[in-house]
Chain A
């Protein structure tokens, strides 16, 4: 109850913030606020939860960790994976987690108890990404076996309710909207599966797609390609709107995202730096060295000017203005 009361006011506060960040690049989070240390080995993903108060990270040490990034506190450890954990996602109500990784399984966790509610098996290879849908009823996973699989969280069946295997190569990343499943694959395509009209739209970029992320207005897709460029696609027409270059992204799975105001594009680089591009003119607005090694993941706060980055160097860093 309290949260719901606070939320509108926060949103109200956030609006002027947004405008500011739209206007100047000085509002970009470039100051290191906290370093979250605890992972042994590479951290493969770091994600804010839906309200941005907490964040999750997962890595090669087979654990998922829950943090309070604003205070720099480690809250909980989720251990059950047999191999490295590659991606994690939280439900909008913060009650459940899903994670996936090298053990070819998708784990469905209860956040508070830290127990695994369900394990979904069926992928024939490592699983690269997972996402909940809006109602947290379906987990969609993207795997090395060139498929997207949708798993039902409501029923007790552990069989996938849908297998999408029209991809020609590893699916690296998945995004969900209310009506669509979008997957980015190494075969160079971003495929949108529209459930409402039963159609698959494939946008071939010609370059292996490393990571896709949706713009906050839902009109664009940001696709990070392995030719060291990030491409912005118009979702309705499939048009290439812009290309962002300058960073190095050639061999690692790395994330990219947009700021919450959609004014800037953020991407990590293999040399450990973070790049900010202007969305419209694709110029590098800011660039700084955040980590000593490959930046694997970037996540932007849903409301504030805050960002978390994770790296192979084993740390998760929190950046604020």
Chain B
């Protein structure tokens, strides 16, 4: 209840205009009692319970003017703020037809206007058009939802321009965008290998480990860079099943009774095929009910909201096997005649078998198939077939060289003819006989060319031709000597290799001796591929990634695999493996290798800069190779060791059980009779400084150590030393203990109106007050004391954290201010002795007001009743209020900034309660009051002494505050324990 009341803040007391109200009441009461009865009805007045006159409506003998004789609203006349029309004249508004049209009319009017698709660059209008078309169609069709479908629900499916572009570039739905290379072909191959692996595994256990490497590449692809992986995954294709029923969207009539869904479906089916009506066994459908994901129907009431925490985390536990239903469904779906239950079971069994082989449900595999694969023998190669192609052209020319030379013929006399003959001969020699034939045919009638057909100069032509041939042949030979002629010869592997820049082959003795012919062949092939130049990227690889370091043989194989992979070109059907490896093992290994290779590639692509370290890293951590696992295990061990060193970690804190708890546990309260503990240092530190965890951890340990020291210190041997030490720091200890006393003093009188009490006290012992008000010395003390108090309360803050120092400064500034203000106030009231008598009652009231209030309302109220001097004070109140408010708000901030955990604890602690109360009380006066009460307790000392003493303390505090934060806290901790020790001793 206390806490509830604290939340309210009362601002002043309400004003009651007593005389008015009472008068009216009296009148009303008198009239009600019967005075009026004496009057004739026409003289009687109708009045409400407040005594005000009421007019009544026509039927009740009068009229009622509006709402309680006012305007027709409760608010009454709302005065309008005056705006001069001189400057802003009413504008002449342009009126259009639209001002006078209703919404639907406007729509109609606008309907006549349309956009043309001619200028529709981005396809918006087209989309709109499509939508309208769809609407029209929708209207023609019978629709599930009567009336037009709202636009928000149904949108035309039009593809975005990006999708269109992609489609044009060859992308298809459901396909990953970035690497189309890998997906289909590569996956198919992988699948095949997986299948092979599954089949080839000899023992039953094999599939299990086989699964692992299959999974791992997934994690691989995900690891290097997230979005890359995401984009490379194929997109899910959404298939919407059309809505065919007449229920509302999203409404599922069988939500809570899935067993009926089955029935309904069957019913529909039966309706469709009236011919073969079948009886559906209810029993099966009831089994179906179990299989349906019936949530555990209990749980949440209708009025309780169903949020995330109510999700059935155990949902997996409800999956029952659904096989029996499916078996039953399928014949019905296919419209097969229903069978007798006994037969059905057999049927379904068969079907299970059949399904495995990929046969359509409802069909059987034929025992004898009429489809047979015809095989043809390979064509017979004739024995004289030479697998070499002969080139006719050049060889012919060369043959002609062997033709015996015609006799030397003198050139004809006609130099023209001679030139012509020579030219033709040259051409023929170069272009072949065909040219001769052609020109002969062409120039048959031409006498000049008669030499071609044995006429004049034919001999010479023959001779020239031969000469030309000879010449050309030599040229050709020269030409071919470098290049062509060897190709005519048989090419040896060496020469070809030389030509192509290969290394000469060398068969390593190891391989040849190793084993069978087949493997030798592979080796050869492999070596061939080895001889080609390596791509640059690959040459780096071996140093970079050695995922199978610990198994050199395997690593070697892996490297081979990599080479094959990157070389392309010559790809061996199988690669060299130790002959003792089984097929399954080889397949598995290959999967491993592929995964590793992919990882390496990905890693390289992702982080070029970190090539050297990164891929290896995540190879070791993310993947489990069949034999590479060893390394990982080692890593794990190392980690374990680390964690073992760190954990479990023990810390000790002080904890105070509630007295009732101790009582209920039948134990003696360890803190019995002791003041409530100072808040735990840890939480204070947490809230004020934002220290990283490690530091925080270190501190409580120290605390623990000191705590452990405490009992030891109590034993005799160390006592003397401890005593000395204690004497030395006795002052300190006392000093530290003081806050505890203070707390007690503050919190023990936990009465509700303690603040008010203080004020009344102020009035009650004026000599005290005057003392405070007048002596500057005392004020000084108070200031000092407040400062120290602030420190004690935990407002003291080390200088190196700017955030909190701010606050501390603010507080330190704030307190003296408010203090002085208060002092002014008190002097103000008491330096008005002349008014005192008249003011007495009022001032009393007046004083209580500012304390209770944080706002202005109350002071406004008081204005009316205060006389002049009161008004002077009132000003101060306002100031006062503001000052008081500011620290409080700051305190609020402070608490909210602290960790929530801490806040929670404070909510329940008394300390918090007091702090919050401090937000509307005047903290300074409060504190001073406590100080006074303390001083009252130690009255034997003179005020002088006191002041000096407290000043000493404050100095001490200043010293401490100058220290490093950790030290000061530690120090306070130690002092705490010391203080406790001291107490214990005293008790002893």
Q: How far is the CB of B529 from chain A (nearest CB, A)?
A: 46
- A201 lies within 8 A of B652 (CB): yes
Q: In the docked arrangement, what's the CA distance between A178 and B665, Å?
A: 7
Which residue of A has the minimal Cβ distance to B666? A135
Complex contacts, A204 vs chain B, CB 8 Å: 647-651
Complex contacts, B310 vs chain A, CB 8 Å: 83, 102
- A198 lies within 8 A of B656 (CB): yes
Interface bits B640-662 vs A (CB < 8 Å: 1, else 0): 00011011111111111110111
- A161 lies within 8 A of B296 (CB): no
Q: How far is the CB of B290 from chain A (nearest CB, A)?
A: 12
Complex contacts, A10 vs chain B, CB 8 Å: none
Q: Does A2 contact B (CB under 8 A)?
A: no
- B667 lies within 8 A of A240 (CB): no
Q: Does B908 contact A (CB under 8 A)?
A: yes
Q: Does B490 contact A (CB under 8 A)?
A: no
Q: Does A173 contact B (CB under 8 A)?
A: no
Complex contacts, A174 vs chain B, CB 8 Å: none
Q: How far is the CB of B678 from chain A (nearest CB, A)?
A: 14
Q: Does A62 contact B (CB under 8 A)?
A: yes
**Interface residue range, chain B:** 35 or more
Given A60-B299, A206-B648, answer yes or no on A252-B313 (Cβ-Cβ < 8 Å): yes
Complex contacts, B119 vs chain A, CB 8 Å: none
- B648 lies within 8 A of A240 (CB): yes
Interface hit among A19-27, A91-99, A163-171, A279-287: A163-171
Interface bits B656-676 vs A (CB < 8 Å: 1, else 0): 111011101111101100000
* Option from B301, B670, B908 in Cβ contact (under 8 Å) with A197: B670
Given A61-B296, A152-B660, A205-B647, answer yes or no on A166-B655 (Cβ-Cβ < 8 Å): yes
- A200 lies within 8 A of B317 (CB): no
- A135 lies within 8 A of B655 (CB): no
Q: In the docked arrangement, what's the CA distance between A292 and B320, Å?
A: 11
- A195 lies within 8 A of B665 (CB): yes
Complex contacts, B905 vs chain A, CB 8 Å: 165
Q: Does A38 contact B (CB under 8 A)?
A: no
Q: Does B20 contact A (CB under 8 A)?
A: no
Which residue of A has the minimal Cβ distance to B320? A292
Which residue of B has the minimal Cβ distance to A202? B651
Given A60-B298, A135-B666, answer yes or no on A162-B648 (Cβ-Cβ < 8 Å): no
Which residue of A has the minimal Cβ distance to B700? A202
Q: How far is the CB of B117 from chain A (nearest CB, A)?
A: 56
Which residue of A has the minimal Cβ distance to B682? A166
Interface SS, A side: loop
Interface bits A208-240 vs B (CB < 8 Å: 1, else 0): 000000000000000000000001010001111
- A150 lies within 8 A of B317 (CB): no
Given A165-B905, A198-B655, A200-B654, answer yes or no on A62-B298 (Cβ-Cβ < 8 Å): yes
- A60 lies within 8 A of B314 (CB): yes
Interface bits A288-321 vs B (CB < 8 Å: 1, else 0): 0000111000000000000000011110000000
- A198 lies within 8 A of B661 (CB): no
Q: In the docked arrangement, what's the CA distance between A311 and B657, Å?
A: 37
Q: How far is the CB of A298 from chain B (nearest CB, A)?
A: 17
- B654 lies within 8 A of A199 (CB): yes
Q: In the docked arrangement, what's the CA distance between A200 and B704, Å?
A: 10
Interface bits A98-135 vs B (CB < 8 Å: 1, else 0): 00001000000000000000000000001000000111
Complex contacts, A231 vs chain B, CB 8 Å: 648
- B664 lies within 8 A of A42 (CB): no
Q: In the docked arrangement, what's the CA distance between A164 and B655, Å?
A: 9
Complex contacts, B304 vs chain A, CB 8 Å: 82
- A206 lies within 8 A of B299 (CB): no
Segment 47-105 of A: residues with Cβ below 8 Å from B: 60-62, 82-84, 102
Q: In the docked arrangement, what's the CA distance between A96 and B665, Å?
A: 17
- A294 lies within 8 A of B653 (CB): no
Q: In the docked arrangement, what's the CA distance between A231 and B649, Å?
A: 13
Q: How far is the CB of B799 from chain A (nearest CB, A)?
A: 29
Complex contacts, A278 vs chain B, CB 8 Å: none
* Option from A126, A146, A162, A202 in Cβ contact (under 8 Å) with B661: A162
Which residue of A has the minimal Cβ distance to B670? A198
Q: How far is the CB of B317 from chain A (nearest CB, A)?
A: 4
Complex contacts, B550 vs chain A, CB 8 Å: none
Complex contacts, B646 vs chain A, CB 8 Å: 206
Which residue of A has the minimal Cβ distance to B297? A40
Which residue of B has the minimal Cβ distance to A292? B317
Which residue of A has the minimal Cβ distance to B650? A238
Q: How far is the CB of B303 from chain A (nearest CB, A)?
A: 10
* Option from B299, B309, B317 in Cβ contact (under 8 Å) with A62: B299
Q: Does B316 contact A (CB under 8 A)?
A: yes
What residues of chain B have their CB less than 8 Å away from a CB belonging to chain A?
296-301, 304, 309-310, 312-314, 316-317, 643-644, 646-658, 660-662, 664-668, 670-671, 707, 901, 904-905, 908
List 11 interface pairs A-B (beta carbons < 8 Å), by A numbering.
Answer: A41-B296, A42-B317, A135-B664, A135-B666, A161-B658, A164-B655, A179-B667, A195-B667, A203-B648, A207-B647, A251-B313
4 A-B pairs besides A165-B905, A201-B650 with CB distance below 8 A are A40-B297, A83-B299, A83-B300, A162-B657
What residues of chain A have their CB less than 8 Å away from a CB belonging to chain B?
40-42, 60-62, 82-84, 102, 126, 133-135, 137-138, 146, 150, 152, 154, 161-166, 168, 178-179, 188, 190, 193-207, 231, 233, 237-240, 251-252, 292-294, 311-314
Q: 7 tightest CB-CB pairs across the interface, nearest first?
A: A41-B296, A238-B650, A200-B655, A293-B317, A206-B647, A198-B670, A312-B317
